[in-house]
Amino acid sequence: MGYDLGGVERKLARADESLAILYGQRSMYLRDHGNRFLTQLDSQDELVCSLREAPPQEMGTEVGVFLHFCRSALDNLLCCVVDRHTGRVGTRHQFPIYEKEADFCRKPKGGGLPKGEWQTKGVSDDEFTFIKDSQPFNARPGLAKWEPLALLGYLNNIDKHRHIHVAAAGAAVRVYVGPFANRPFLIVGADAVQRSGFLGRGEPTTGFLTNLYVNGEHRSNGYRFVGSDHPTEIVRFIGVGVMPDDAEVNMDPRPSIEVSFSDGKRPVTVHDLIDIRATVVEIVNWFRPRIT
Binned average pLDDT, 10 residues per bin, the chain of 292 residues: 85 98 94 78 75 90 97 97 92 96 92 92 97 96 91 95 89 72 71 58 42 69 57 73 66 72 85 96 96 82
Structure confidence at residue 200 (pLDDT): 37
Note the pLDDT of residue 154.
Answer: 96
Question: Which sign, positive or negative, has the C-alpha torsion 125, 128, 134, 139?
Answer: negative
Task: Output the pTM of the full model.
Answer: 0.86
User: For position 106, what pLDDT does the model report?
Assistant: 94
CB atoms within 10 A of CB 3: 19
Quote the pLDDT of residue 204. 39
Identify the pLDDT of residue 253: 55
What pLDDT is stored for residue 147 in this prediction? 94
Q: How far apart are CA 62 and CA 19, in angstroms?
A: 8
Q: How many CA atoms are closer than 13 Å to the CA of 165, on its beta-carbon side?
A: 35
Rounded (10°) angle between helices 270-291 and 148-161 = 110
Gyration radius (Cα) of the chain, Å: 22
pLDDT at 245: 66
d(CA 92, CA 155): 21
Instruction: Tell me if 82 sits within 8 A of 93, measured CB to CB.
Output: yes
* DSSP helix, strand, coil percent of the chain (3-state; round to 5): 40, 15, 45
pLDDT value of position 266: 85
